[in-house]
Structure 1
Amino acid sequence: MHTTLAAPRRTSLVRETGFGYFPVALIARLPFAMMVVGILTLVVSARDSLALGGLTSAMTGLGTAIFGPLLGAAADRFGQRRVLLIAGLANSLLLVAIAWLAFATVPDAALLVVAFLIGASMPQVAPLSRSRLVGIVGRAFPTERRDAVVGGTMAYESAADEIVFVFGPVIVGLLATTMSPAAPVIGAAVLALVFVTAFALHPTAAAAAPAHGAAPKQAPARELVRPALLTTVIGALGMGLFFGAMLTSLTAFMAERGVPEQAGLVYGAMGIGSAALALGVALFPARFTLRARWVVFAAILVAGTLALPLAGSVGAITVCLLVIGVGIGPTLVTQYSLAAARSPLGRSATVMTMLGSAVVVGQSAASALTGFLAESAGAQAALIAPIAAAAVVLGAGIANVPLSRVRPRAPRG
């Protein structure tokens, strides 16, 4: 009588992390998606100054841009759990503080300082989730499967980002109109306290931490400025420039038609298509290489933006945004996949926060510049700004081609 051994179960990322990880990591991103718009809404309502509101939200972005990579480096050095718990608690308290200060008799400068500290303490959930999952893939999956699994993971992560950045502003609008202008900021504080804490305490955070009492093995910091890696950062900066330029110019376009509050709804058309295509990246054949994907989809992004200044109606601009969405999701997935593959040993959290901060820097800078252009020359002129931003993304993709001739190594965490 012959006995047959049961085949070993095929490893899956859901099995390695536990199913509960993904909803927790998704909701833990919402405070970041809510706070910039929420702070803008709060300050404009409380102080009756659009200029102060824009400056305050920009200070939030500046704080994140400066301190985001430092939080990533701290997570690589001390482990994600400790960094997230401290940042999440500080961020929640600061959000409650600005909700009170906005209506208090304090100087405007106090709001700017607190807004900067809010950005500086922002828990870097999305980059740290990417780093955490890439580390799990590197440990739990055989070498021949890692590239495919990392690609699918980056596809999911980019789609998750798109989802929260589409619905975050919607939640802000609902809370602000049905409750009070402070409600979105207080809601973000509660979400940060509960779900960032849950994300920090999840068992996968312990798996990503250095061994107890031992310094983590890390490549020299100079490896963070290698051309191949910096190209992905510049690409992410271009995506941030596009997001800021697109939303600001679209808001100006809708304001000229008397419905500025509908800008978020029209903008959502781009986000939904982008999220769907981001998930579809996992189905692309391996022969459609990462360097080729970046160039192809960035070219689609440029093509969609070139039609924006010619759009004379809301329907026409919505069609442009649908085309643009086809290019955004896959481009973001490709940039993060390349960054994961090129991360120096022991510095994946730093790299992921570098890309995330580059997006924030681009978004803040482009929002300010495009707003100035819209005020001085009108919405039609402002719609040229997304073209320039898309050109940066495509240029970085073209520069990446010769840097990708050598096959990237498997991610090492």
Structure 2
Amino acid sequence: MTLTNDRPRARGIEPRTTVPQAVGPTYFPLAFVARLPFAMMVVGVLTLVVAATDSLTLGGATSGMVGLGAAVCGPLIGAWADRSGQRRALLATAVVHSILLLVLTLAVFLAVPAAVVLAVGFSIGASAPQVPPMSRSRLTGVIRTRLPAARRPVALSRTMSYEATVDEVVFVFGPFVVGALATLFGPAAPILAASALTALAVGAFALHSSGRVAPPPGPSARTAGTTAAGAAGPPPVQAPVRELFSGRVLVLVAGFLGIGLFFGSVLTALSAYTGDAGHSERAGLLYGFMGIGSALTALAVVVFPARFSLRARWLVFAVVQLAGAVVVATASSTGMLLAGLLIAGLGIGPSLVTIYSLGSERSPVGRTATVMTMLGSAIILGQSAASAATGLLADTFGTSAAMAVPVVAAGVVAGAAAANWRLGRAPAAVEAQASATDA
């Protein structure tokens, strides 16, 4: 049965007016738990390798290889999902990823050569199930195929706001979970928990009924509509791969790379700052303070007026993030540091929501999951690279040098926002419609 919903009552279908009604009551809790292993991955690997080998260098290098693997292979997994469906891609990667996490645990305690540890780290990142971007892609498909056309712009904006907020919460909560499990049960506990969560939660997410929704056709797709599970229909239409590397897509990837650099550099710099005071375990608390502000402003995006366009939003809040980073770098007290983290967080939340919304609008035909995965991979790559580089700076030149790295990262975000301002002029009408949250 075709679910176009343009004339639902004429087909005997009751229109679904909200996203929760369309996906069912279990979807959002399941999607939240299923993305937690992804947020635990980099920090968990770092904790395990350092504890088992007593080598900060090997630990940082291994976590960097995890990020590199995710960045290289994440978009390929997204492309696989676009072509063959999310269920197959998620189930296969969940099985492989769970096994590799166990292999790494055995490898570090058996004192295998460092090259083997690095190779396993890369494989862990390469096989990571891409739950966050696939959730966005799946929800975008639900909105465009199962909701009445009049409600789609508002539903898409609110859903991207929610998804960005959840990512903020998970990226803050993930390191906290890793630290708590490692403290209570040993350094291997976070990786073992991530392995179990991947097998159970990601497997359940893959099998959820929402996974049968076909990818939504883009504005230039020449298909009759999107079909539900089991329905016969035309083969999926996909834009050429080269469209993924257009300036309008790559500028979004650059923005997310900058945000990932900011996450990684802030967490590592805060570890150096609190370590100087003899309380390194408090770094997560300070980091969480930034995440709270980011989550709150991400939710506030839904009340922004339509005339506050997406490209203007990103530029404004990128400047806010940069201002907060400068305050962090120049803070002379913990109070000033907290103020800077709060200001930076206020800028990050809306930037995340805006870039995801732009990614949804700019995805080439049939490539939504690929674009969303490119964005998610850019964050994890930036986080891994910045963690390693900031740690090296802290060891070599001291905490003050490490505290300056978030300024550079925020500058990358602001530069991408400025480039997007110029690239976004032509389709401003389309983006204005996407930002019409008060329609």
Both structures adopt the same fold (TM-score exceeding 0.5): yes
Q: Does 1:339 align with 2:359?
A: yes
For residues 186-244 of structure 1, what are the alpha-carbon distances to aligned partners after superposition, in whole Å with 9 as ceiling and x for unaligned?
A: 00001000000010000111113687696421111121122212211111111112112
Q: Distance in 1 between matches of 2:269 and 2:179?
A: 19
The farther-off stretch of 235-244 and 118-127 is 235-244
Asked if the contact 1:176/1:184 (under 8 Å) is kept, the reply is yes
Give the one of 281, 291, 296 matched to 2:301: 281
8 A Cα contact 2:70 2:125, kept in partner: yes
Preserved contact between residue 42 and residue 384 of structure 2 (Cα < 8 Å): no
What is the alpha-carbon distance in structure 2 between the residues aligned to residue 333 and residue 58 of structure 1?
26
- Aligned equivalent of 1:106: 112
User: Offset of 1:263 from its aligned partner?
Assistant: 0.8
Shift of 1:396: 1.2
CA–CA separation in structure 1 for the residues paired with 2:177 and 2:402:
27
Deviates more, 1:400-409 or 1:383-392: 400-409
Residue type of the alignment partner of 1:328:
I
2:55 equivalent to 1:49: yes
CA distance in 2, matches of 1:15, 1:196: 22
**1:301 Cα deviation after fit:** 0.4
Compute the TM-score of the two structures, normalised by the length of structure 2.
0.88
Aligned equivalents of 1:383 and 1:313: distance in 2? 13
Compute the displacement of 1:159 (Å).
0.7
Q: How does 1:377-396 map to 2 (within 5 A)?
A: 377-396=397-416
Rounded to whole Å, the distance in 2 between the matches of 1:376 and 1:214 is 59
Structure 2: distance between partners of 1:181 and 1:155? 34
Task: Mark the CA change 1:256 to 1:126 in structure 2 (over 3 Å): closer, same or farther.
Answer: same
Q: Given the alignment of the two structures, is residue 298 of structure 1 paired with residue 318 of structure 2, yes or no?
A: yes
Contact 2:69 / 2:125 at 8 angstroms: preserved in 1? yes
- Of 45, 55, 61, 2:67 maps to 61
Q: Does 1:362 align with 2:382?
A: yes
Q: Taking every aligned residue pair, what percent have the same amino acid on both sides?
A: 54
Tell me the distance in 2 between the aligned counterparts of 1:77 and 1:200.
15
Q: Deviations over 1:361-402 (max 9, x none)?
A: 222222222222222221112211111111111111122123
Note the alpha carbon deviations across 1:92-117, whole angstroms, 9 max, x for none: 11111111222113222221111111
Q: What is the RMSD of the two structures over their aligned residues, measured on CA atoms? A: 1.7
Q: What amino acid maps onto 2:260 in structure 1?
A: G
2:322 equivalent to 1:316: no
Alpha-carbon distance change, 344 to 184 in structure 1, aligned in 2, over 3 angstroms: same
Runs of 4+ in 1 over 4 A off after TM superposition: 209-214
Unpaired segments ≥5 residues, structure 2: 1-13, 216-226, 435-439
Structure 2 match to 1:170: 176
- The amino acid that maps onto 1:381 is A
| Counterparts of 1:106 and 1:364, CA distance in 2 | 23
Q: Which moved more, 1:358-367 or 1:111-120?
A: 358-367
CA contact (8 A) 1:373 1:381 kept: yes
Match of 2:284 in 1: 264
Bigger mean CA deviation after superposition, 369-378 or 108-117: 369-378
- Given the alignment of the two structures, is residue 27 of structure 1 paired with residue 49 of structure 2, yes or no? no
The verdict on how the C-alpha distance between 1:46 and 1:328 changes in structure 2, with shifts beyond 3 A counting, is: same
Cα distance in 2 for partners of 1:228, 1:98 equals 38
1:15 pairs, out of 15, 21, 24, with 21
Instruction: Pick from 200, 207, 217 the counterpart of residue 206 of structure 2.
Output: 200
Is the Cα contact below 8 Å between 2:265 and 2:383 reproduced in 1?
yes
Q: Distance in 2 between matches of 1:322 and 1:159?
A: 15
- Return the TM-score normalized by structure 1: 0.94
- Cα separation, 2, equivalents of 1:46 and 1:372: 20
Give 1:229-248 correspondences, 5 Å limit. Answer: 229-248=249-268
Question: How many residue pairs get matched?
Answer: 404
Whichever residue aligns with residue 409 of structure 2, its letter is A
The partner residue of 1:154 within 160, 175, 185 is 160
How big is the shift at 1:149? 1.5
Q: What's the secondary structure of 1:267's corresponding residue?
A: helix
Greater shift in the superposed pair: 301-310 or 339-348:
301-310
SS of residue matched to 1:408: helix
Aligned twin of 2:186: 180
Query: Which residue of 2 is the match for residue 251 of structure 1?
Result: 271
Q: Which residue does 1:40 correspond to in 2?
A: 46
